[in-house]
Chain A
Amino acid sequence: MIPLEHYLYLSIILFCIGAMGVLLRRNMIILFMCIELMLNSANLLLVALSKFHSDNSAQIFVFFVMLVSAAEVSVGLAILVMLYRNKPSTQIDLWKKLKE
């Protein structure tokens, strides 16, 4: 049996890779993907905890996370397509004016 710490470390590493990706890249699509990666690291941890606590509520939470991320991706990509029509680039820096 693999100790829970290993799952913790794995998901932390994945999470940090995702966070690093968000920092490093400027392409909106890749930012999205990094966010998905971070969400998945959390999911992994939830499933691991569910097994270690013998409680399937955590797996239900994973469902809801998947659901929310599916909704998020659909809306996010729609926004991206719309932005792309305005300015044919996916660089996030070009949309600084959205802060207003």
Chain B
Amino acid sequence: MNLTFAQIALAALPFLPLAGFAVNGLWGRRFKETTIGIVGCGSILLSFLLSVFLFMANLSGSFATVQVRLFDWIPVANGSIGFSLMADPLSLIMLLVITGVGLLIHLYSVGYMHGDAGFARFFAYLNLFIFFMLLLVLADNFLLLFAGWEGVGLCSFLLIGFWFTNESYNAAAKKAFVMNRIGDLGFLLGMFLIVFTYGSLNFDQVFTAAATAGGANNATIIAITLLLFWGACGKSAQIPLYTWLPDAMAGPTPVSALIHAATMVTAGIYLVARCHVLFSLAPFTLSVVLAVGVATALLAATIALFQTDIKKVLAYSTVSQLGYMFAALGTGAYVAGLFHVVTHAFFKALLFLGAGAVIHALHHEQDLRNMGGLRTELPFVYRIFLVGTLAISGIPVFSGFFSKDEILMNVFQHHTVAWGLLFIGALLTTFYMFRLLALAFWGEKRGHHANYVPMNTTMKLPLAVLAFLSFAGGFAGLPEFTGLNWLHHYLSPVFSDVTLHNEPHLSIGVELGLMAFTVLAIAGVIWFYASRFKHLQTRELNQLNGELPWYKKLPANKYYVDEWYNRLLVQPINRLSDFLYRVADTLIIDGLVNRIGGMVLSAGNRARKLQSGDIGIYLYVMLAGASGLFLLYVLLGS
């Protein structure tokens, strides 16, 4: 087997973090923190360098896609499912994001987790996560992708419950796990259906088969895509499976930044984008995706307005932004969705890490009501946070502007009502982000001490880099009309077959007008909040939950979704289980088993008398039996 260097690099990529995991996981307890950090970050750095190499090679045109088949994994009737990796522009973009942001967050964690008892465990988990994530994006078939998918779910579970002595954190981890399992069920069923329909799980084969079969909107493909989307909803926290993500904030902040903002939750987007051939064949599913995306974006944004936990705000913000991405996918604008994935990875990681810096500095204080006035105290973090806020709000030149604008533009083209809702969502985004900024950094100090934990360079450096990326990342996808949309150009080979949109593009004038309108509205929101923030803050801080009017109380309590879930799903199941336990299990099954057992027991009690323990008699009987058998043979056999 002659491997090109690119293939070797590809094969090595995911296994470097795995090696890091093995080393830290097995011997981490004996290592010093420095060693653990070097092992953890070093393995990611190496895979980042390999990713960059692959990316450059791809850019320079030395290959379009690169594939390597490591070994036959599961032999099946026709051919076998290979443990094979594949990198195309889509994977490469994800690869860069995962390893790049992952590297920064690893670096940050060295400072953030300093002194924690589970330092080695933390880095081992993080490395394992990166391994599975790389497996996910590099898989060239559904099964391997599913392996990575489950793996990241596992790591997410482990890391949410990282401080496993806290019972509620464990509950959060369990919740995330169960929610993900519900989503996985859809994915799994989708896979079964794919195998059943196309007889393969290999991406190429499936897509080719689907494309040649044609027949848009037939029931099978709608079922497949809906099931896959169901899986994506679970992983990417969309309605109705979004409730685990805010709870997942129980994990350490770098985890929230890496897994629950930048990478894992975008796996759903990746899945849909990867299967765009299928989705493009099912416009009905796409409209479902759009609807779910818009609804999630708006709903999460309203909830985010009323959260008091700094990480919860960011968590709902993430859910909301993921909704944007799905909305983009729902209109068939896969590139726009992915663009937002990238920029979101930058600024949301930045925001989370910034929040982490605040939490770190304030001795693990997460409640916004106990912050305030940190602008002068933590100027570096403030600046960082400001960049992130501006980026997510969509202020021009910052990265969020370009990506969100592209989404809005595409949605406008497709569905005006959806655009209107997303526009409102964008305004809400701006509002809650500035509320967050104001509560944390502006105004006066509230209830915290002045002895801040200092930040070291390993924490500052990633923040600076991410801030730069949040600022400049948008230039990768300048608006369409400029003709400089590099990302679009780069990803075009992957999405070359997207034929859904053959409507004419909006004219430059309309586009610019919309852009200006959005920007103006956002600026208006900012001006409104900035000028009146003191009043708004005092009112909010003095208002207790019970005093809120209903329209505020509802989002403040997350629309009681968890409670409804509890009442509608969990409790009935509990009651059913209880009933089944008491009647079916105890009376019928146990009764039967016990009765049979009792019979055997009494029979055994009687038969036991035969066993005297005298081996001679046993043997004699055995011998007699053997003799009898042979005698029988002699008499009958001849």
Contact = CB atoms under 8 A, between A and B. Distances in A.
The finding on whether chains A and B are genuine partners in a shared complex, rather than unrelated, reads yes
Interface of A: 19, 22-23, 26, 92-93, 95-99
Interface in B141-182: none
B619 A93 contact: no
A98 B620 contact: no
Contacts of A99: 611-613
B619 A23 contact: yes
A98 B616 contact: no
A97 B614 CA distance: 9
Contacts of B620: 23
Given A96-B614, A98-B613, A99-B612, 7 more contacts: A19-B623, A23-B619, A23-B623, A92-B615, A93-B616, A97-B613, A99-B611
A-B residue pairs, 9 tightest by C-beta: A96-B613, A99-B613, A99-B611, A92-B615, A23-B619, A22-B619, A19-B623, A23-B620, A23-B616
Contacts of B612: 96, 99
A93 B614 contact: yes
Contacts of A96: 612-614
A92 B617 CA distance: 12
A22 B616 CA distance: 8
Nearest to A25: B616
A96 B614 CA distance: 6
21 contacts: A19-B619, A19-B623, A22-B619, A23-B616, A23-B619, A23-B620, A23-B623, A26-B616, A92-B615, A93-B614, A93-B615, A93-B616, A95-B613, A96-B612, A96-B613, A96-B614, A97-B613, A98-B613, A99-B611, A99-B612, A99-B613
A24 B37 CA distance: 73
Contacts of A19: 619, 623
Interface string B605-636: 00000011111100110010000000000000
Counting chain A CB atoms within 10 Å of each CB, the highest count among B611, B614, B615, B623 belongs to B615
B contact residues, range = under 10
Nearest to A97: B613
A96 B615 CA distance: 8
A95 B612 CA distance: 11
B617 to A, nearest CB: 10
Contacts of B616: 23, 26, 93
Nearest to A100: B613
A90 to B, nearest CB: 13
Nearest to A20: B623
A19 B616 CA distance: 11
Nearest to A98: B613
A26 B611 CA distance: 18
Nearest to B617: A23
Contacts of B615: 92-93
Nearest to B611: A99
B298 to A, nearest CB: 72
B634 to A, nearest CB: 13
A96 B623 CA distance: 20
Contacts of A22: 619
B624 to A, nearest CB: 11
B628 to A, nearest CB: 14
Nearest to A99: B613
Nearest to B616: A23
A99 B604 CA distance: 14
Contacts of B619: 19, 22-23
Contacts of A95: 613
B638 to A, nearest CB: 16
Contacts of A93: 614-616
A68 B296 CA distance: 67
A96 B612 CA distance: 8
Interface string B583-613: 0000000000000000000000000000111
Contacts of A98: 613
Contacts of B611: 99
Nearest to A26: B616
A26 B613 CA distance: 13
Contacts of A92: 615
Nearest to A92: B615
A77 B527 CA distance: 92
B450 to A, nearest CB: 73
Interface string B24-35: 000000000000
A15 to B, nearest CB: 10
Contacts of B623: 19, 23
A98 B611 CA distance: 11
The residue in B611, B613, B614 that gathers the most chain A C-beta atoms within 10 A of its C-beta is B613
B608 to A, nearest CB: 9
A17 to B, nearest CB: 13
Contacts of B613: 95-99
A27 to B, nearest CB: 12
Nearest to A95: B613
A12 B623 CA distance: 14
Interface in B90-147: none
A50 to B, nearest CB: 24
Contacts of A26: 616
B609 to A, nearest CB: 11
A22 B613 CA distance: 15
A31 to B, nearest CB: 8
A19 B622 CA distance: 10
The interface centre, meaning the residue of A23, A26, A93 with most chain B CB atoms within 10 A of its CB, is A23
